[in-house]
Structure 1
Amino acid sequence: MADTKKRSLDSDNGTESGPEKKLATGDGDGKDTKQPVADPGSMLAGFQTEKIMRESSREKNIFIHGKMGSGPNEGQDAVLILEKTPFREDSLAELFKTSELKLQMRNDIYSTYHMHPPAHLNEYFVQALVFERRCPASRSFSNGRHQGDGGVSGYGEAHQEWVYNILEKKAEADRIVFEDPDPQNGFVLLPDFKWDQKQLDDLYLIAICHQREIKSLRDLTQEHLPLLQNIQQQGQEAIMKRYSVPSCRLRVYLHYQPSYYHLHVHFTVLGYEAPGCGVERAHLLSDVIQNLQTDTQHYRTRTLTYPLRADDALLHKLREAGRF
């Protein structure tokens, strides 16, 4: 079994040294040329907060709805997701040596402190979802929902365009770890935004299928078994080749409800309790394959239980339909 305990990845490219990854071919440098790119140093200057959508002291993140204050997206609706980055074992010595401690409380053998580390060891991971003026965030929020696992989902064009940009190599082509280009059974595999790619303890990748007609678990039948089996086999093999993490240490699953409606599969390392990996929402890919082998209509006919927040738009729709 490969030793993945606190194994740091190359900080320059987010990957380990080792076998070459199979990069997807595409035009340009893999960056989305449709969207204007703001200077990262000033992108958040003047950001106007309108609503705190969610904050979690446990997960150390916050979701903020507001308007961009500067740059090419000035005045546009946006959602910012701020999250504390995980600790890295290889930076602990520097953290202890260079941080300032301020005593908060001491009682017998117990004491608590506030730590003030240097800036480069006190990072935040930031995701910015900037909505075009023709598709403001307020409209997307009314048609979508804020997931309990810390995601923001919309049922409209925003997520579809994001997924299609990846599949068409208009964006993130340089982040693709593996691709099977087959239009029916193929997929792309790339790191999830939740993973900073600096260590393997919280490894998290997403496989996005090339087929565009499959929206969620509910659409799957036996005709999709070759696709699901291909994602399972080649996805695990690609992760083993690239990161030396064997299939026995992976959790491979689908969400229902998903955060966006284009079939995708999650690959996480077993030791990482990723948001949304609980039984209320996650369905193991191996179970899905076995259930479909037994009954082609399994996911079209059975009752699926999933959590919804009190302010979830879907919950309101279900109430209006008399389901509650």
Structure 2
Amino acid sequence: MADTKKRSLDSDNGTESGPEKKLASGDGAGKDTKKPTADPGSEAGSVLAGFQTEKIMRESSREKNIFIHGKMGSGPNEGRDAVLILEKTPFREDSLAELFKTSELKLQMRNDIYSTYHLHPPTHLNDIKATMVCPATEKHIKKYQSQELFLIQESGEDYRNITLPYIQEQSFSVQWVYNILEKKAEADRIVFEDPDPQNGFVLIPDFKWDQKQLDDLYLIAICHQREIKSLRDLTREHLPLLQNIQQQGQEAIMKRYSVPSCRLRVYLHYQPSYYHLHVHFTVLGYEAPGCGVERAHLLSDVIQNLQTDTQHYHTRTLTYPLRADDALLHKLREAGRF
């Protein structure tokens, strides 16, 4: 099962990753943020100084990212295992004129109407976002390794007899979620909050979104209720909560970013990557990790299904992908369900 201390970044395996230390990030465009107490650039340099690569675990030319297992070379975590994730940041429309004017262009090939070049932009237009997980456990390292995926069909009975006991047995921590809800962490990143303990939620940008452009807008609504682990727990009594997240979440995004509801994809994951109910808001046209049909459930469909049958997600067979090394996959295999 994907580690629970995560919220963003995984791509090919359909999982989310989370609040790992981010070395380079968005500027918080469109919202007021607290001034950092130190220059994040100087911190990044010290964190990466002497980093020793052990293994390239995964890389994607399409996603323009690479996942590296290594050892820290300096600082309080010197010699400890770490996972470093590097990914190219998206192009920004407002920087194109400067990019064209100040970059160095070197011809590689010309044939009739076709030409290819190497373009070398100035440093400030050539960002790479770096995410560090340190100290990284064996579970973190396995999570980021390239793995085969298997499609699981989980009945309501499978959930009660296999999946739920597994979740309870593992005692996955969601303390980082509680830190957000209690304003102990990331309080300056909150876009909107409804503080109602039953139907309220916090809306916060996902770490995949650098907040510099709207083409890959991605926010997460985290509900204040703490006893709802996933889609499987939802019944008709949760409709006010879900409808509130849908309505106020869309209104908050329209107010802050001028993106109307008709341009938003609003959905839940099953299996989720952490067991505290949360809802994803992404802009249409952005192929966010985990937005495929095998894992994403549109919030509007969830609401309709519960209006029709309060036990819909207690009894329905749900399909989702699991990695080859996922402990839940082994539990299902031992029970003869896979």
TM-score, structure 2 as length reference: 0.72
Aligned equivalents of 2:25 and 2:106: distance in 1? 52
SS in 2 for 1:201: coil
**In the alignment, structure 1 residue 39 sits paired with structure 2 residue 53:** no
1 CA distance for matches of 2:296 and 2:39? 37
CA 1:118/1:135 → structure 2, altered by over 3 Å: closer, same or farther? closer
- State whether residues 58 and 66 of structure 2, in contact with CA within 8 Å, keep that contact through their aligned partners in structure 1: yes
Inter-CA distance 141–51: structure 2 relative to 1 (3 Å threshold): farther
Measure the CA separation in 1 of the matches of 2:160 and 2:75: 27
% identical aligned pairs: 91
Superposed CA RMSD: 10.0
Change (3 A) 1:160 1:234: same
Gaps of 5+ in 2: 137-155, 162-170
1:116-167 deviation line (CA, Å, top 9, x unaligned): 11111110xxxxx999999963999999xxxxxxxxxxxxx88512211111
1:101 Cα deviation from its structure 2 partner: 2.1
Give distance in 1, aligned partners of 2:212 and 2:14: 6
Higher deviation after alignment, 57-66 or 313-322: 313-322
Q: Secondary structure at the match of 2:202?
A: strand
Tell me by how many angstroms 1:105 deviates. Answer: 2.3
Question: How far does residue 320 in structure 1 lie from its aligned partner after superposition?
Answer: 2.6
Task: Label 1:77 to 1:38 Cα distance change in 2 as closer, same or farther (>3 A).
Answer: farther
> What is the aligned residue count?
306
- 8 Å contact 1:21–1:242 — kept in the other structure? no
Q: 1:185 to 1:26 in 2, by over 3 A?
A: farther
Give the 3 Å change call, closer, same or farther, for CA 170–252 of structure 1 in structure 2: same
1:11 offset after TM fit, Å?
26
Further displaced range: 57-66 or 311-320: 311-320
Aligned to 2:131: 132
How far apart, CA to CA, are the structure 1 residues paired with 2:129 and 2:35? 10
State the shift of 1:310 in Å: 3.4
The answer to whether the 8 Å contact 2:8/2:18 transfers is: no
Give the drift of 1:314: 3.0
Change (3 A) 1:263 1:82: same
Do 1:31 and 1:170's aligned partners in 2 also have CA atoms closer than 8 Å?
Answer: no
Please say if residues 191 and 204 of structure 2, whose CA atoms lie closer than 8 Å, have aligned partners that are also in contact: yes
8 A contact 1:53–1:63 mirrored in 2: yes
Which residue of 218, 221, 224 maps to 2:232? 218
Q: Relative to structure 2, which stretch is displaced further, 28-37 or 91-100?
A: 28-37
Name which of structure 1's ranges 255-264 and 72-81 shifts more when overlaid on structure 2: 72-81
| Residue aligned with 1:11, SS | coil
Contact in 2 for aligned 1:32/1:170 (Cα 8 Å) = no
Deviation at 1:169, TM superposition (A): 0.8
Q: Which moved more, 1:227-236 or 1:46-55?
A: 46-55
Distance 1:214 1:282 in 2: 18
User: Would the alpha carbon gap of residues 180 and 21 (structure 1) be closer, same or farther in structure 2, given more than 3 Å must change?
Assistant: farther
Shift of 1:319: 2.0
Deviations 1:78-126 (A, max 9, x none): 3322211100111111111222222222222222222211111110xxx
Does the residue aligned with 2:225 lie in a helix, a strand or coil?
A: coil
Using the TM superposition, name which of 30-39 and 71-80 deviates more: 30-39
1:17 and 1:216 map into 2 onto residues whose CA distance is 17
Q: Which moved more, 1:69-78 or 1:261-270?
A: 69-78
Alpha-carbon contact 1:9-1:199 (below 8 Å) kept: no
User: Measured at CA, do residues 120 and 162 of structure 1 come closer, stay the same or move farther in structure 2, by a change above 3 Å?
Assistant: same
Q: Distance in 1 between matches of 2:11 and 2:328?
A: 41
Deviation readout 1:3-47 (Å, 9 max, x if unpaired)? 999999999999999999999999999999999999743111122
Cα pair 1:14 1:198 within 8 Å, conserved: no
Q: Does the Cα contact within 8 Å between 1:208 and 1:263 map onto a contact in 2?
A: yes
Relative contact order (C-alpha < 8 Å, sep 6+): which is higher?
2
Of 304, 307, 323 in structure 2, the residue corresponding to residue 309 of structure 1 is 323
User: Please, which runs of 5 or more residues in structure 1 have no aligned partner?
Assistant: 124-128, 144-156
Distance change (3 Å), C-alpha of 1:179 and 1:15 = farther
- On the 8 A contact 2:6/2:16 being kept in 1, the answer is no
1:208 positional shift: 0.5
Deviation sequence 1:237-291 (CA, Å, 0-9, x none): 1111111111111110001111211111001111222121111111000000110
Q: Distance in 1 between matches of 2:276 and 2:215?
A: 27
Cα 1:180–1:61, aligned 2, differ >3 Å: closer, same or farther? Answer: same
CA shift at 1:312, angstroms? Answer: 3.5
Q: Per the alignment, do residues 180 and 6 of structure 1 end up closer, same or farther by CA in structure 2, a change over 3 Å counting?
A: closer
Equivalent residue number for residue 85 of structure 1: 89
* In 1: Cα distance, 2:302 partner to 2:182 partner: 28
User: Aligned equivalents of 1:45 and 1:174: distance in 2?
Assistant: 29
The separation in 2 between residues aligned to 1:28 and 1:111, in whole angstroms, is: 37
Give the TM-score normalised by structure 1: 0.75
Conservation of the 8 A alpha-carbon contact between 2:13 and 2:323 = no
CA contact (8 A) 1:78 1:131 kept: no
